[in-house]
Chain A
Amino acid sequence: MSRRVDLLIVGAGPAGMSAAVVAKRHGLDVLVVDEQPSPGGQIWRNIETVAATARADLLGKAYAEGAAVVRQFRASGVDYEPGTQVWYVEAGARAFLRRGGSASSVAADRVLLATGAQERPVPFPGWTLPGVMTVGAAQIVLKSSGQVPDKPVWIAGSGPLPLLYAVQLLQAGGQIAGFLDTTPPGRAVAAMVALPAALFGAPGDLLKGLGWIIRLRRQVPCVRHVAEIEAIGEHGLESIRYVTTDGRAATVPADLLLVHEGLVPTIHPTLALGCRHVWNSEQDSFAPELDGWGETSERHVFVAGDGAGIGGARAACLRGELAALRITASTGRLSEVAAEAFAKPIRSRLADALSPRAFLDRYYRPRPAVFVPPDHTIACRCEEVRVATIREQVSASRPGPNQVKAFTRAGMGPCQGRQCGYTVAHVLAAAEGRAVPDLGLYRVRPPLKPVTLGELAALDMMDSVP
């Protein structure tokens, strides 16, 4: 069945929900679609169920804060379709959706992509073995399923999330075998210039983080300055070998290893739509080029939330509200002057919410091996293409990611380069003496998510009915 709405929002996390509430309040006909079974995004995942249970206490205050936003979203009366994947968005704009095995399409005058972030891929030898997962994945399992590792777990990485998860895990009665801190030496110095802004704008966030670090160092064996990691095992993880920057090496038995090296914006939908992207050197990632409201280079296509650049939940909500104001004004239901007046206080709160960012980005900037891993590392998980194979493509013709994809199949599997795109770009850049932003990323073609022939056929029949 084909429908028409004023605004299609993809993603029911902080940005999508906040935007929906504002747009609906100003009279827009809004449809929100989301892959997950319930609203909240990854940060507030399963909050409606968990809020009333003991699990909410161990997940902490920032998680509990989501309950109010979700309640507001539910009360707003927007159309909300959970469990729905968007497999194609066409400028103009029509989106093709699939829910529970059936495909449909919706025409929308305006689209807001609030698709958030993914964890930065962390390739290292053995990272495809069962028993290696991301920290974010383990946290999702805690939120949505109330489960924790059944044996002492190894955590390796850098950034606020591993610290937060480690503390939540201890709180839940889980055990940590060791914490391999991969933050390179000297980061405190590099980040120092950004400290005053962080302390001034969001002192609570920094204190909270410091509390996590102190607690972990007291309760968990911590190894600092880990530079290299290898996961070893036949059919699953059996041991981990790590080396620190000053050359200390150890091999330890392991059942489960959780890794994390920060987040990167989800850019597949905006790449597929042909939006212009820019390189964010502070966050070592691409993001869509946006104006002050979140509009992309394509008219009427907006981005809000971590998809615009990593900023956290509070910033995501505010960016969602800004985008919704601009979208509403562009339909004529709100004057430009009124939109600007509503936006002013939101912009100043956004500046506060983003104030710790520069400090965090510099402090937790990933170590070099995250970008260019050793030769025998699998770069493309789907097609099992190794870093050495990518490097072998480098020749006088200086190929870019798309040629390498054609020659090696890297990026051709079902994840469509979501895990190997940056690795291929970095390996090529290093070997060719070029910069990653000049190489760019894989071209993205629909479908954004695999669809079956049966689903496509059903869609074709529906669309021939006017």
Chain B
Amino acid sequence: MFRKLDQDTGSSLTVHVDGHPVLAIAGESVAAVLLRQAPFWARTTPVSGARRAPYCMMGVCFDCLAVVDGVSSVQTCLAPVREGMRIERQQGRPDVTS
């Protein structure tokens, strides 16, 4: 859905999205990575199971929730990427205790 501008440089690192290694740039958010990594959605809703993708990118809508390093319902637009991070698209209702 999105692509990196060619001019963009920065120290690159690797994260894993649903098990696939993906290059990311230090300082960007997990949601930004999800926007250039098909399929373009972050979670399904607990109510109808509909897919949702990052919508506001500033912490307001909660549609960017995903499982990050085993923690569910992380607002990925507020979470900076880290080397080796494991990101999984989130299905349905999250686990409130994690």
Interface residues, chain A, CB within 8 Å of chain B? 35-38, 42, 46, 49, 53-55, 83, 85, 101, 118-119, 128-134, 136-138, 140-141, 144-150, 172-173, 235-236, 255-256, 381-384, 413-415, 418-419, 449-450, 452-454
Q: Which one, A134, A172, A236, contacts B55 given CB within 8 A? A: A134
* A133 and B60 alpha carbons, distance in the complex (Å): 12
Report chain A residues within 8 Å CB of B27.
37-38, 46, 49, 144
B56 engages A130 (CB within 8 Å)? no
A145 engages B29 (CB within 8 Å)? yes
* A49 and B8 alpha carbons, distance in the complex (Å): 11
A140 engages B98 (CB within 8 Å)? no
A133 engages B65 (CB within 8 Å)? no
Q: Which one, A132, A138, A150, A414, contacts B73 given CB within 8 A? A: A414
8 closest pairs, A vs B, by CB? A146-B8, A130-B53, A137-B57, A145-B32, A150-B3, A145-B28, A414-B62, A140-B57
When A134-B56, A146-B25 are in contact, do A419 and B97 touch as well, CB less than 8 Å?
no
Known: A101-B71, A145-B2, A382-B45. 14 other contacts (CB 8 A): A37-B27, A118-B58, A130-B51, A141-B35, A146-B4, A148-B5, A150-B36, A256-B1, A381-B61, A381-B63, A414-B62, A414-B73, A452-B98, A454-B98
A35 engages B57 (CB within 8 Å)? no
B2 engages A150 (CB within 8 Å)? yes
A141 engages B2 (CB within 8 Å)? yes
When A37-B27, A453-B96, A454-B97 are in contact, do A133 and B48 touch as well, CB less than 8 Å?
no
Q: How many residues of B contact A (CB 8 A)?
A: 45
B7 engages A118 (CB within 8 Å)? no
B40 engages A384 (CB within 8 Å)? no
Point out which of B1, B36, B40 has the most chain A C-beta atoms below 10 A from its C-beta. Answer: B1
* Dominant secondary structure at the B interface: loop
Report chain A residues within 8 Å CB of B96.
452-453
When A55-B8, A145-B25 are in contact, do A137 and B56 touch as well, CB less than 8 Å?
yes
When A145-B32, A146-B8, A453-B97 are in contact, do A119 and B3 touch as well, CB less than 8 Å?
no
* A383 and B52 alpha carbons, distance in the complex (Å): 13
A147 engages B80 (CB within 8 Å)? no
Q: How far is the CB of A386 from chain B (nearest CB, A)?
A: 11
A133 engages B5 (CB within 8 Å)? no
Report chain B residues within 8 Å CB of A236.
39-41, 51, 53
